[in-house]
Every structure is written in structure tokens, then in C-alpha cells.
Structure 1
Amino acid sequence: MSTTNQEKASKLYGIYINGEWVNSVTGQVYESRNPANPSEIVGIVQKSSIEEVNEAFKVANIAHKSWARLSGPTRGEYLLKVSNILEERLEEIALTMTKEMGKTIAEAKGEAARGVAILRYYAGEGMRSVGDVIPSSDRDALMFTTRTSLGVVGVITPWNFPIAIPLWKIAPALIYGNTVVLKPANETSVTAAKIVECFDQANVPKGVINLVTGSGAVIGDAMLSNPHIKAVTFTGSNTVGKQIGRQAFDRGIKYQLEMGGKNPVIVAGDADLDLAVEATINGGLKSTGQKCTATSRVIVHESIYEEFKEKLLSETAKITVGNGEQSSIWMGPCASASQLETVLSYIEVGKQEGAVLLQGGKRVEGEGYFVTPAIFENVTSEMRIAREEIFGPVLCLMKVSSIEEAIELANDSEFGLSASIFTTNIQKMLSFINEMDAGLVRINAESAGVELQAPFGGMKQSSSHSREQGRAAIEFFTSIKTVFVK
């Protein structure tokens, strides 16, 4: 895994503060490696100091004053420029994502295209209403609401969607007049740097967006203790999210947390089985199961259980596992060695708990962090593999005798992010819509994914109960101001 000093220098990525790419004063770096080929260094990333984090917030706070004074349409023009640059660089940045976290090139291009669409959607938000006229009891008065920006927003993002998630936080934050300090996951810091490069190329004013990289514990604490931070938006694990929530509450700043999921799909006795199998595979195994909305629990009516199982096993056996840069590959590696070990350990836990491993769950020989898709049956709701988020290509089959039992089992989780049902019966659809405790419910569609113009977020332990994306983003990234004019 050695590399020359020249190669390292060519792949060195700085941190971005006040419109300038700089090297950290720490002199410390870490290597971002390709999970499909760990000997390949994708980039060398700086470890920011606490002083540099503080500087990023300082300049963002200064920049906020002038950025917030710009009209919404003017801020939208900047986002539109960024979207055009990202579109021009789409293939390059998508390939970086594939190399850095393993997602197949087709999925990476799709995510990059979604990033372009997110930027354009929020560019349009600059032209939309930010308040309402409210009748006053005083006939000689005008009363209305408007919205005001919060200030500097800390954005902390995960590695599984290294383009879409940062942009669906950054774009609304900026369009509503806030400035941003971004801390991406270490595993995808190079992709994040390339996204910030697009803002730099678009000549977004200095200090409006800043990038710091390095240890989540060190930088996260520095961000949340900084006097200039006014809000933090986070996507990641429940453990870290709850810690951030406690710190933000103590500081009295707004916080938005999107965390784990243990998402069910219900396959009713009247379902279109081919459609249900296809969606279960796509929802559970695309991106190597590394989605917070990925299907994990597959709850199947006993009357069609065996037929569904055989179809699922047959189709899953056709999945090609390997380097996502190859167009013939359907599923790439786990994003890191530690993530692979987590997945393999849960597969062993499932066996020990008494679940039956029907297929897969084996590490693929070679250097990369590959594992074949695992399908368990005889899974009960008490088992850890049915309750804890694995974040890998593992499906748990569970058999039920009624739609009522299916919904009860689907709700038997501390999480409530997404859920789907496959049925042709309208009453079953309505029961599922009304009774399912999840922020996203989908009918005859996979559990993973939501359109960018629609609100996204979870219930129970999956979220802090705010919503991201679409018009709903304005609720978090602004404060309402009521105005009375006599």
C-alpha cells in the first residue's frame, strides 16, 4: 500500500475557509482509499485543527450579514451556477464517489444528477413566498409573517450519499440566507471537496460555504461549542445523533437529526410477486444495503411465502458483486473494512440466534471489502438482526398470517423511517397508510428513496421529528417573524 511522495502531493486536498483552499496547520492527514481496491489511494485529506474550525465559523458569521441581505433570486442565481458546474463535472465526481465509497458507477451518476436537481430546485425557492398576510383586528393595521435566516449552520454528513445529503442540507441553508460550515464523513471527504470546488468555481462569496475535515469527535465538538453556530443538521448514527442533540439543546441552538432505520416491506397475499421481489432486492441490496431507508425486514403472508422466497433467492443469486467502476457489476463493496466487519458480525449473530441463512453472507475472496447478499429466514422480532440497523446487504424474512399481524410486526421497532407494502387491495393499502409508524410510506414501491421535492424524515428514534427536502426545509432553516404595521 505504499505510494510515492509525488503521488501523494497530487492527491492532497485542502480545507476550504473564506474562499481559499489551505493546508491545515496540524500537518496531519489521512488517506481515503478505494474499498473495492484498498491499495488505491483516492486522496489525501487534511485533519483540521480546532482553531481552523473556529476560523471557519468566524468567517461564515461575517459573511452571513451580506449574504442574508441579498435577495432570494440573487442567491438562487448562485445555486443555479453551482448546478451547471456540477452537471459539467458529473462523470468525474461520480467516479470519485464510486472509487471512494464503492457505490456502482450507475448509482453514483444517478446521485450526482440528483444533486444537480436539488440545487436547481432550491435555486427556484429564491423566487417563492416566505410569508403570509394575516387579518388584523385593527382595520388600520397590516399584519404579516416573513422568514429570517438563522445565521451559521453546521452541516455534518455521512458517507453513504456523499453528494445528495450534503446538497439537500447546504442548498436550502444557503437559499434562505444562512452560511455553512460543512464537516463530511472521513470516508468521502474527497467527494465533498469536489462538491465544494463547484461552489468555488461559481464564485459564491467568500465565507458563505466552508469545508473542514478530520476527526468527527474533535471537529463535531468544536462546531457545537463555537459561539457563532446557530443550527446544526446531521445525518448519521443514533448514538452520535443523540449526543449532538444533547449538546445543541444545552447550547439553545436548532438541531435536525436524521438517524437510523430498520425498514420493513410487507408482501400481502394478493401482491404482484415479481414486482415485490424486484423492489425488495432494489430496496434492500442496492448501494450494498448502505441506505438509511434500505429494506431490512421482509414480512410475507404465509399463503405466498414459499413462492416469494424461491423467486427472491433465484433473483438474488444473479447479483454480480465487485468493483462498481465496471458496468457489469450490480453491487459494490462495503464502504470500509470496519463496515464489512460489522456486516459479517451481524451475519454470525443471526446464525447464533437461530435464524436460518438461506443464501449468501460470505466474504468474497480478494482485497476489496465485498460480501455476498445474505438472506435469512425463521427470523423473529426479538432477534438482533431484526431490531438493530446493520447497514449492509442483509434481508430478514418473516412469515405472518394476516395484514393486521404484518402491520403490528412492521411497527415493532424503535425506528420509523420508511416502510412499504405490496398489495392490490385498497383496504390493505389504507390500513397500512393509516397505521404504519413511519415518516415515509410507499405502496407497491421499494422502501428506499424519496423524491427531492417531498418532505423526508422519520418517526420514533429515526429522527428529531423535523423534515428535510422539498418546501418543508424552510421550517428548519428559517425562523418566522411576525410583523405588525400600524
Structure 2
Amino acid sequence: MSDTATPLAYTRTARTQIEEFKNHIDGKWSASQTGEQFDVINPADTNDVVGRFPASSAADAEAAVRAASSAFASWKKTPISARAKILNRAADYLEANVDRFAAELTREMGKALNLSKDEILRSAQTLRFYAVEGQSFAGETFPNDDPDMIVYTQREPLGVVSVITPWNFPVSIPARKIAPALIAGNTVVFKPSSDAPLSGYRLVEAFVAAGVPNGVLNFIVGRASEVGPAITVPPVVRAISFTGSTAAGEAIHRSVAFTTRTQMELGGKNPLIVMEDADLDKAVDLTVKGGLSLSGQACTGTSRVLVMKQVKAAFTEKLVSKVKALKVGSGMVAGNDIGPLATPRQLETVLRYIEIGKREATLLCGGERLTGPGYISGYYVSPAIFTDVTLDMRIAREEIFGPVIGIMEVTSYVDAIAKANDTEYGLSAAIATRNPRYIHDFANDIEAGTVKINRTTTGNLINAPFGGLKRSSTSTFRESGRGALEFYTQIKTIYRGC
């Protein structure tokens, strides 16, 4: 998943009537100690400034870590029912403000308004899930031969944890990290992407309105190069949950203390296999939804479609026809299918890969920077479909994180699996087929942490574990479900005599 921040435009003072937002450290909303700020721009209309945020320094980050450390002892002892009430009240706040927060989310990163609303409501659901699940997550009692002894385990929080999140799901990804951390009794330092910090701010605002104690949840905005080491390297930080690029995740993983846990959900190059018996209309629908929703800016998005030779021509014709009919435009306008790319840097990256693809493969449609009426002030690209893609091509191997799909021909199930697995990534994979044998074998043969059968490569349940294999994840602890609670707790084994 790409999480490269756009260079920040710093300002010392507000020049226009733009809403300003602050960090939240030790229960107080505060400006950066540097006094510097940066503007977040609407990717659908670069004349629209969504908000102005603090460009924080290492000193600000250090203050957030100190606040979290000081608050830990008290929060650890807070009854779990009281923690659960805070999560539920925060969920109430998100639901009560869903329309306003969804509009802000669309303005800051471009996704369709209905998808933004779904994300806010899903985040509220995530908080409610952990408010319940956290109260039943406990240790075990073990039989033994001594009648005067009881042996049992108890789960305890780790301490200070850092949560670092990307811009493509700026509420739901933080929610699925922060909620299990808090219900388990940890304190949190939360750094959102500087490309979409407002939605993270609103999530923290929900917790503040819900009565989270001072220092328990701290929010800091700024460049990763400035604040990152201060919230990851100190030994007092006991765990780091990061979603972003593989390169950034590996750098964090190498830099932290031996005693610091890491949970890294990183890049993907996710395949959809279309077998000869597949319903081709459904396979096309899966391709479009998995690869082009969110303008292809999803870590689990479909980027490679491996199609059996005997149906490739028919599938390709149907896919190109459907893609050409898609409407590109602002996510605020109902009926538009594909919004803008989230940042100018993401636009530049996608256009660069499209040019690489033109030299490597055959471009069937799209791949153009849209600049006409309705597009001139936004980061719009028409979705690109390439065919004649082979494994040695860069567009087949490197994560693009945009509306670009490559079609690869395969001649058998074995050939399809071999090509699907020939990647450094292993986040998500799907197959379109009616054949029970293919379905059974695919679940066992594919090298991916999330396996979909006749479903899109994107999407996951809040109560099921989520994560990748190979360089898509550290593969230590999973996000979502009870696995997230395991990450944020440690076990003591206790032998108690009478």
C-alpha cells in the first residue's frame, strides 16, 4: 500500500479563512511547537482547501509519547466495562455525525460519498465490536496433578502503542487499530497520513467526546521523517501497528527495539484468476469493483487478472466495454464511478507507470490525464486496461496503487497458480470459477493471507483476521477480529498454591 506523503506546504500564519486543526496531546488540543502548518487540498478540486494542520516536530511527538506513558498505569486499571462504554459512546458520535464526516472524507481524499459514509458507519461498527469482544478476551486455566495449586494465564496490556495509518481508509484503518488497543488497556499515539488527517482528527474527536481520559489517546500530524522515529524507536513504545508501503514498513521494523512488537500491513500485487468455466459477466464485475473502486487505491485492489486462454478474448471485450462506460468525476457527485487520485504525487506515479506499461504491453483503453471541463482542477486519470502482460514486466510486478489493470493469459489451473504466486507480495487473491475442484485447490495453493472465491480481492470482515503473507506483512499478528486483541496483549502464566 502506498503511503508516500505529498510534500507539505508550510505556512507560519493563516492567510485566509481556512479552518485550522490541532494535535491532541495529553487531553489538550494544541498547535505544533514549531508554529508551522500545512494545507490539505481537495484532490477533486485543488482550489478547495479542506483544512490547515500542524506540521509537528519530534518534540511534539516526544510529548505525545510521554503523555501516553504517564496515562498508562491509570488506564490499565480502569474497569473494562468503563473502557467499553467509551468505545460505544465514540461509535454513537460517529453515527450522529456521519453525513458531515463523510463529506469531509470525500473532500480530503476523493472517494465517492456513499463509500465515505459506509466507511464512517463501518468504523462505528468496529468500535462496538471491540467493546463487546474485548470483555470476553481472557486467559485460560490448566489442569494439573497438584490439588493445592491452580495454574492459569492472564492477559495484560503492553503499554504505549503507536498507530500509523495511510490516507486511503483514513477512518476505518485507524479504528481497527485503536479500538482493540484501547479496550485491552493500552494507551495510544496516533499519527495519520498527512495527506488525509481530517478524518483521523474526527475519530479522535469522537473519543474525546466519549470521555477518553487525558493522555490515553494522543493525535499528532506531521511528516513521517520528522515525527516517525520519536513514536517508533523509544523502548517505552511497546508496539507499533503500521499500514503503508512495504519499504516504509520494513524500515520501521528494522529500526525498533528488540522488545517492541510490530504489526505491518504493507503492499500487494493482487491477482484475480478467471477460469474457463467462470461466469464472465460476474468476473468482469469483480475485476472492475476490485481493481477500480477507490480509483485503484486499495492495498487489496485487483491489479493482475490471469485469464484462461480460451475465454480471454470474450472476457477482455466485456471488460473494456464496461470500463469505457465508467464515469470519472468528483466523489461528491452521485453517479460517478471513479474519483480522483488522492495526491499529486500519486497522480505522477500512476501516469509514470502507464507510460511504462505502454512500452511493455498493449494499452486497450484509458490511461489519460483528464483535463477538460470538470477535470481541470483535479487529479483525474481514466482507468487503464493493459493486455499481453507478462511476468517480467514492471506493471506486472510493482505496486502501482491506481486505476491500472493488467491482463495475463494462462493456459491451465497450474499455470495460473504459478503466475499468481510469482510475486514478492501475498496480501489478497481471488478466483472466478464454478468448479468445486478449482475452489478447493485454490484455497490451499494460493500464497495470500486473504483468499476470495467468486468475490472481489478487496474487503474484509471486522470480526475476521486480516493480513498478508510474504512481503505484504510481518505475518506476526493479524489485524481485525480477536487476532488484534492478541497483538495488543501479553500473557502471564500464574501458579497459585493454597
Considering the TM-score relative to the shorter chain, is it more than 0.5? Answer: yes
What CA distance in whole angstroms lies between the structure 2 residues aligned with 1:100 and 1:10? 14
SS at match of 1:448: coil
Is residue 446 from structure 1 mapped to residue 453 from structure 2 by the alignment? Answer: no
List runs of 5+ in structure 2 lacking aligned partners.
1-8
The 8 Å contact of residues 41 and 108 in structure 2, kept in 1 or not, is answered as yes
**Other structure's SS at 1:12 match:** coil
Specify the alignment match of 2:134 in structure 1: 126
**Kept after mapping to 1: 8 A contact 2:134/2:485:** no
Distance 1:229 1:6 in 2: 34
CA deviation profile, 1:324-377 (whole Å, cap 9, x unmatched) = 111121110000111001000001111112x00000010111121000000000
Q: Deviations 1:408-453 (Å, cap 9, x if unpaired)?
A: 1100100000000011111001110001000000100010111111
Between 49-58 and 7-16, the greater mean CA deviation after superposition:
7-16
The CA deviation at 1:10 is 4.4
8 Å Cα contact 2:26/2:215 also seen in 1: yes
Counterparts of 1:177-196 in structure 2, within 5 Å, are 177-196=185-204
User: Does 2:246 match 1:235?
Assistant: no
1:360 aligned onto 2:366: yes
For 2:201, the aligned partner's letter is A
Aligned to 1:109, what secondary structure does the other structure show? helix
Shift of 1:252: 2.6
Partner of 1:51: 59
Corresponding residue of 2:255: 247
Q: Which residue of 2 aligns with 1:371?
A: 381
Q: For residue 437 of structure 1, what is the aligned residue in structure 2?
A: 447
SS of 2:46's equivalent? strand
Q: Secondary structure at the match of 1:127?
A: helix
SS at match of 1:381: coil
Percent identical residues: 45
Shift of the alpha carbon at 1:145?
A: 1.1
Q: Distance in 1 between matches of 2:66 and 2:167?
A: 27
Q: 1:101 aligns with which of 82, 89, 109?
A: 109
Q: Deviations over 1:37-69 (max 9, x none)?
A: 111100000011222211111111111111111
**Of 5, 17, 25, which aligns to 2:25?**
17
Say whether the 8 Å CA contact 2:134–2:180 is kept in structure 1.
Answer: no
Deviation at 1:298, TM superposition (A): 0.2
The DSSP-based 3-state class of the residue aligned with 1:304 is: helix
Distance (whole Å) between structure 1 residues aligned to residue 248 and residue 145 of structure 2: 48
1:89 partner amino acid: N
Deviation at 1:8, TM superposition (A): 4.2
What CA distance in whole angstroms lies between the structure 1 residues aligned with 2:283 and 2:89? 40
Which segment is superposed worse, 261-270 or 194-203? 194-203
CA positional deviation for 1:186: 0.4
| 1:425 partner amino acid | N
Q: Which moved more, 1:258-267 or 1:71-80?
A: 71-80
- The number of residues matched between the two structures is 482
The 5-angstrom pairing of residues 67-78 of structure 1 reads 67-78=75-86
Corresponding residue of 1:403 = 413
Aligned to 2:305: 298
The match for 1:318 is: 325
Partner of 1:390: helix, strand, or coil? Answer: coil
Counterpart of 1:382 (choices 364, 374, 392) is: 392
CA contact (8 A) 1:8 1:43 kept: no
The equivalent position to 1:418 in structure 2, one of 416, 422, 428, is: 428
Q: Which amino acid aligns with 1:147?
A: R
The DSSP-based 3-state class of the residue aligned with 2:222 is: coil
Please tell me the residue identity of whatever aligns with 1:137.
D
Partner of 1:472: 483
Name the structure 1 match of 2:348.
341
- 1:463 matched residue in structure 2: 473
What TM-score results when the alignment is normalised by the length of structure 2?
Answer: 0.95
Q: Match for residue 33 of structure 1?
A: 41
Query: d(CA) in 1 for partners of 2:284 and 2:246?
Result: 30
Partner of 2:121: 113
Deviations 1:61-86 (A, max 9, x none): 11111111122222111100000001
**Which residue, out of 54, 67, 87, partners 1:79?**
87
1:191: how far off?
1.5
| Aligned: 1:203 with 2:214 | no
Give the CA deviation at 1:477: 0.6
| Structure 1 equivalent of residue 493 of structure 2 | 482
Cα offset for 1:9? 5.2
AA partner of residue 482 (structure 2): R
Q: Does 1:213 align with 2:224?
A: no
Partner Cα distance (1:72, 1:275) in 2? 45
Residue 8 of structure 1 contacts residue 44 of structure 1 at CA under 8 Å; is this kept in 2?
no
Decide whether the 8 Å contact of 1:73 with 1:126 is kept in 2: no
Cα distance in 1 between the residues matched to 2:73 and 2:66:
12
Report the AA paired with residue 397 of structure 2.
R
Contact 2:23–2:220 (CA under 8 A) maintained in structure 1: yes
Counterpart CA distance in 2 for 1:104 and 1:129 is 36
Specify the SS of the correspondent of 2:377.
coil
For 2:396 and 2:97, the matched residues in 1 are separated by: 41
Structure 1 contact 149–479 (Cα < 8 Å) conserved: yes
**Farther off after superposition, 27-36 or 186-195:** 186-195
Deviates more, 1:410-419 or 1:22-31: 22-31
Checking the alignment, whether the CA contact within 8 Å between 1:419 and 1:447 is kept in structure 2 is yes
How many angstroms apart in 1 are the aligned matches of 2:334 and 2:496? 62
Q: Which string of whole-angstrom CA distances, capped at 9 and with x for unpartnered residues, describes residues 188-232 of structure 1? A: 112211111111111111111000111111111111233421111
In structure 1, the gaps of 5 or more residues are: none
Aligned residues of 1:34 and 1:99 also touching (Cα < 8 A): yes
Provide the rounded CA distance (Å) in 2 between the counterparts of 1:444 and 1:279: 8
Residues 75 and 126, structure 1, Cα contact 8 Å, conserved in 2: no
Counterpart contact for 2:56–2:226, Cα < 8 Å? no
**How big is the alpha-carbon RMSD for the aligned residues of Structure 1 and Structure 2?**
1.4
Q: Which residue of 1 aligns with 2:265?
A: 258
- Rounded to whole Å, the distance in 2 between the matches of 1:10 and 1:407 is 52
- 2:493 match: secondary structure: strand
* Structure 1, 123-132 or 161-170: larger mean CA deviation: 123-132
Shift of 1:481: 1.1
Shift of 1:133: 0.9
How far apart are residue 137 of structure 1 and its match?
A: 3.2
